[in-house]
Structure 1
Amino acid sequence: MASAHGKQHDYHIIDPSPWPVLTSLGAFVLMFGLVSLFRWVHGAEFMLFGANFSTPWIFVVGLVVTLYAMGAWWADTIKEGHEGHHTRVVSLHLRYGMIMFIASEVMFFVAWFWAFFDASLFSAEAIQASRVEFTGGQWPPKGLEVLDPWHLPLYNTVILLLSGTTVTWAHHALLHNDRKGMIQGLVLTVLLGVLFSFVQAYEYMHAPFAFSESIYGATFFMATGFHGFHVLVGTIFLLVCLIRAAAGDFSPKAHFGFEAAAWYWHFVDVVWLFLFFSIYIWGGWGAPLAHG
């Protein structure tokens, strides 16, 4: 009788969970709050149903709810893995899910590259559409200084390439059951990710052009800014893996969480290489360089 009630398949039927609904609700409030935040920053009203929603607090509430639901959801997933529910089939599907997520992220960045190349290769049409006066019908816009690609952008390129090496070292150490090496590799990767973010923030603060000045600035900051956001997310992802590794999680045969983080980090590396060569080098070719 006991065997009749035992598990007869490799799939895991999860228990009813509040996290999908709570995550959706938090994401909706977050996006609504983002609009209200922008209106509040610009000192404008955001009227809806006779009330002014121009406040930063809606965004804060949405962000807190979303982060809490995501953390709790992932904690349940980790717990399921510890309980042995991540069978061969379940692990395979988790990998498929991560691959599809990264594929969606690729298409997300394709949109920003498309916008940049469309504006640069057909600058006259882009300038006319943007109604900007001082561009002069050329790319980069006439009179605009660009960032020197062989200064901070090259520095950040080296940082990310090194971080790709250290996360691979950590993965290799894990496969050989070297927990100390894995932790050391993760620590270095997280530190390099933080350093990249600080360098990019410094670069933004000293950029010789603004987001709203031209189509060049808009496409530049959208593409590089979203990449910077992904670096921040990847750094947090790896930091969580570091905490789990220090707590004794992961083994050579069961480490999908770390593997997913490594895949994501390598994706971030590859996107940056495309950004560096296409936007920093090719996109600013022939324009005067900003110094200082």
Structure 2
Amino acid sequence: PWPLVAALGGLSLTFGGVLFMHNYEGGGELLCLGVITILYVMFTWWRDIIREALFEGQHTLAVQKGLRMGMILFIVSEVMFFFAFFWAFFTSSISPVFNIGGVWPPTHIVAISPWGLPFLNTVLLLSSGASVTWAHHAIIAGFKKEAMLGLYVTLIFAIAFTGMQAFEYANAPFSMSDGVYGSVFYMATGFHGFHVIIGTIFLAVCT
């Protein structure tokens, strides 16, 4: 039943989020229900997959191939998801319309310098990619101590990145409601930060 329950949880999460952001009554409760449902499905579905693989021996070569294909399709969907945000950014920045002043950034927006916190966050992300690759190769080679060290370093980088992004949001000179610039900025960086948080949780479980 987990695909159906996950779909219902995603539906509740989406509708609840929209209702909550527009201050409709019951939106917050529906959003919380969606979050709880998704978290419950994540725990129970992955628990069942582990049981099927380790104790029941149901992961035949055909099943493993299906799981790999599912992960590939998931990654492709993620690429297309963020491609939409980049499309919105380039469409708005290359050919800015008159109602934002005909320039990019819009006339009323004070843009964040890319050489401050954004540059530091980029360094943290690249460093975390290097450290998790180190941990991956250590796992393959059977070096448990080095693998754990690599994972711990990656977690430190990820937590630092999330903290820096939260600080950047708190001190940003514009909000999500400031036209297309604010919308694209917060949607793209917000969903990216959400992915970092999910990855941090996954790696924390692995350690």
Structure 2-normalised TM-score?
A: 0.92
Gaps of 5+ in 2: none
CA distance in 2, matches of 1:30, 1:143: 33
Shift of 1:29: 2.1
Find the partner of 2:158 among 193, 204, 209.
Answer: 193
Query: Higher relative CO (CA 8 A, sep ≥ 6), structure 1 or 2?
Result: 1
Find the partner of 1:30 among 13, 17, 21.
Answer: 13
SS in structure 2 at match of 1:56: helix
Shift of 1:177: 1.0
1:231 match: 196
Q: Deviations over 1:187-218 (max 9, x none)?
A: 21122111111101101111112221232121
CA distance in 2, matches of 1:35, 1:56: 9
Shift of 1:136: 2.5
CA distance in 1, matches of 2:60, 2:138: 23
User: Which structure's residues are more often helix, by fraction?
Assistant: 2
2:53 match: 81
The 1:190–1:202 alpha-carbon spacing in structure 2 relative to 1, beyond 3 Å, is same
1:58 maps to 2:12 = no
1:20 match: 3
Structure 1-normalised TM-score?
A: 0.66
Find the partner of 2:121 among 142, 156, 172.
Answer: 156
1:111 maps to 2:84 = yes
Name whichever of 91-100 and 66-75 sits farther off: 91-100
CA distance in 1, matches of 2:15, 2:103: 37
Gaps of 5+ in 1: 1-17, 41-45, 47-52, 129-134, 243-292
Q: CA RMSD in A?
A: 1.6
The 1:73–1:231 alpha-carbon spacing in structure 2 relative to 1, beyond 3 Å, is same
Percent identity over paired residues: 48
1:183 match: 148
Shift of 1:143: 4.3
1:123 match: 96
The 1:143–1:157 alpha-carbon spacing in structure 2 relative to 1, beyond 3 Å, is same
1:138 match: 103
